[in-house]
């Protein structure tokens, strides 16, 4: 396991300590879980953005009818209606 040093504001450190205490876990374990969740979320988001850009680069867009169907399904009125 890799060890790093992270500087965080005092108030954030205090919040982390309070949370760790409520969870009955060491603060470094709670911090490691938080970093893992952040990294996973950011990786996912970047992958989705890159996939969307690749689709756009290929000209793979939803048709007007497909967009209208989605808008209608969610109760929004399509612009061209």
Q: Please provide the DSSP assignment of 7-52 as one string.
A: ---HHHHHHHHHHHHHHTS-HHHHHHHHHHHHHHHHHHHHHHHHHH
Q: How far is the C-alpha of 28 from the C-alpha of 33, rounded, in Å? A: 9
Give me the pLDDT at residue 76, please. Answer: 85
Does 77 or 9 have the greater pLDDT score? Answer: 9
Residue 63: which pLDDT band, with cuts at 50, 70 and 90?
Answer: confident
| pLDDT tens digit sequence for 16-61 | 999 999 999 999 999 999 999 999 999 999 999 999 999 999 989 8
Please state the domain extents for the chain: 10-73
Q: How far is the C-alpha of 79 from the C-alpha of 71, rounded, in Å? A: 9
How much is the pTM?
0.71
């Amino acid at each position: 396991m890799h060890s790093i040093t992270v500087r965080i504001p005092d108030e954030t450190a205090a919040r982390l300590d309070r949370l760790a205490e409520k969870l009955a876990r060491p603060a470094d374990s709670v911090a490691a879980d938080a970093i893992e969740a952040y990294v996973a979320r950011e990786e996912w988001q970047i992958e989705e953005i890159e996939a969307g850009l690749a689709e756009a680069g290929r000209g793979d867009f939803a048709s007007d009818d497909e967009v209208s169907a989605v808008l209608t399904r969610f109760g929004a009125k399509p612009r061209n209606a």
